């Protein structure tokens, strides 16, 4: 389909991020960038948190969803389908609703209940099928062909990347002398968005990625310089991908200063630290940047560091465990 190719091959760059800001800002406000004195003392440098956890849908993903749905609508496409373990699906479902588009969201069985409920509450068609991401993706391929729906990929989707880039425009306006940005990575759309925005603004800004030891496909792809697959068993949905993805990978692969891997226990400690130090409930990937900064504190000394708090949609059972163990 011609429209599909146009959307999938759209440019991703600083100018397109600026253009997408007008679209995204019709629906969401700027998120807060807050300085934390207690975390700055603990980590030994100036620590700021970008609160993407306060966006509608509870994560940064809505920025990309809004931008993509704007372009889908402009191309007269009626409906979209995607597969997801959570926040990407919430974003697609919410944004599609705002643009009057039909959305079908396929989630693997046993997905995070809080996220599944948010998707269902938008009125989107929800299909819970497949034991894992890979099985769910086969189901999506079949339905999208049968029903002629636009398949929204969670990572290889230029309009998602440009839309997410608006977060970094806000950061450089609020803190033009930022030295380091630390952010979690799953499929890589967000890291790609940071690369095309922050690095274009100032190539000296360091980007540090965080991923789970138990789902480190992006880390292994970055290390080996090519897309690789890896096992994917983390509890933290934001990190949960079993492979790297080409569109974002090409954008960030040469722009990373460092990559930090966290154990499952460290991710949970991060959630505890988010509660204790910032009074925010963040999900695993969302809080991971705090513990990652602590782990690499000696390299951050004397720098202005922004930690992204990417999302808040935590599973109840994980939250209970963290409160019992770490608070």
Contact residues toward ligand PLP (CB under 6 A) are 59, 87-88, 155, 184-191, 237-238, 283, 285-286, 310-311
Least gap, CB of 9 to ligand PLP (angstroms): 19
**Strand 46-51 relative to strand 33-35: parallel, antiparallel, unpaired?**
antiparallel
Give whichever of 164 and 294 is closer to ligand PLP, judged by the CB atom: 164
Least gap, CB of 188 to ligand PLP (angstroms): 5
Give whichever of 75 and 156 is closer to ligand PLP, judged by the CB atom: 156
Least gap, CB of 153 to ligand PLP (angstroms): 11
Give whichever of 149 and 155 is closer to ligand PLP, judged by the CB atom: 155
Give whichever of 45 and 289 is closer to ligand PLP, judged by the CB atom: 289
Give whichever of 130 and 184 is closer to ligand PLP, judged by the CB atom: 184
Q: Is the dihedral of CA 14, 91, 231, 210 positive or negative?
A: positive
Give whichever of 2 and 239 is closer to ligand PLP, judged by the CB atom: 239
Least gap, CB of 278 to ligand PLP (angstroms): 15
Query: 214 near 233, Cβ under 8 Å?
Result: yes
Query: 112 near 85, Cβ under 8 Å?
Result: yes
For the chain, give the secondary structure using H, E and C: CHHHHHHHCCCCCHHHHHHHHHHHCCCCCCCCEEECHHHHHHHCCEEEEEEHHHCHHHECHHHHHHHHHHHHHHCCCCEEEEECCCHHHHHHHHHHHHCCCEEEEEECCCCCHHHHHHHHHCCCEEEECCCCHHHHHHHHHHHHHHHCCEECCCCCCHHHHHHHCHHHHHHHHHCCCCCEEEEECCCCHHHHHHHHHHHHHCCCCEEEEEEECCECHHHHHHHHCCCCECCCCCCCHHHCCCECCHHHHHHHCCCEEEEEEECHHHHHHHHHHHHHHHCCCCCHHHHHHHHHHHHCHHHHCCCEEEEEECECCCCHHHHHHHHHHHC
Query: 54 near 34, Cβ under 8 Å?
Result: no
Least gap, CB of 259 to ligand PLP (angstroms): 13
Least gap, CB of 298 to ligand PLP (angstroms): 25
Give whichever of 45 and 59 is closer to ligand PLP, judged by the CB atom: 59
Strand partners, 33: 50
Least gap, CB of 211 to ligand PLP (angstroms): 9
Least gap, CB of 104 to ligand PLP (angstroms): 18
Give whichever of 113 and 142 is closer to ligand PLP, judged by the CB atom: 113
Give whichever of 133 and 277 is closer to ligand PLP, judged by the CB atom: 133
Least gap, CB of 43 to ligand PLP (angstroms): 20
């Amino acid at each position: 389909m011609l429209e599909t190719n146009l959307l999938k091959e759209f440019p991703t760059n600083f100018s397109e991020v600026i253009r997408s800001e007008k679209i995204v800002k019709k629906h969401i406000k700027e998120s807060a960038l807050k300085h934390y004195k207690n975390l700055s003392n603990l980590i030994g440098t100036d620590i700021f948190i970008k609160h993407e956890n306060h966006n509608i849908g509870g994560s940064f993903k809505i920025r990309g969803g809004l931008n993509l749905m704007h372009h889908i609508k402009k191309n007269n496409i009626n409906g979209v389908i995607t597969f997801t373990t959570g926040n990407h699906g919430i974003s697609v479902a919410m944004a599609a609703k705002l643009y009057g588009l039909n959305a079908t969201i396929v989630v693997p069985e046993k997905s995070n209940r809080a996220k599944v409920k948010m998707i269902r509450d938008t009125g989107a068609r929800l299909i819970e099928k497949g034991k894992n991401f890979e099985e769910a993706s086969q189901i999506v391929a079949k339905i999208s062909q049968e029903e002629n729906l636009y398949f929204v990929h969670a990572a290889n989707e230029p309009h998602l990347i440009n839309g997410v880039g608006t977060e970094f425009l806000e950061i450089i306006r609020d803190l033009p002398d930022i030295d380091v940005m630390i952010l979690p990575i799953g499929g890589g759309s967000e890291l790609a968005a940071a690369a095309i925005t922050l690095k274009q603004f100032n190539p000296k800004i360091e980007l540090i990625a965080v991923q789970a030891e138990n789902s480190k496909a992006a880390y292994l792809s970055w290390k080996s310089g090519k897309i690789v697959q890896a096992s994917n068993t983390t509890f933290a949905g934001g990190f949960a991908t079993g492979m790297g993805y080409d569109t974002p990978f090409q954008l960030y692969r040469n722009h990373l200063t460092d990559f930090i891997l966290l154990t499952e226990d460290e991710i949970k400690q991060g959630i505890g630290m988010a509660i204790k130090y910032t009074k925010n409930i963040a999900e695993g990937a969302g809080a991971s940047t705090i513990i990652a900064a602590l782990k690499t504190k000696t390299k951050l000394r004397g720098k202005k560091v922004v930690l992204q708090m990417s999302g808040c949609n935590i599973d109840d059972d994980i939250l209970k465990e963290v409160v019992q163990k770490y608070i």
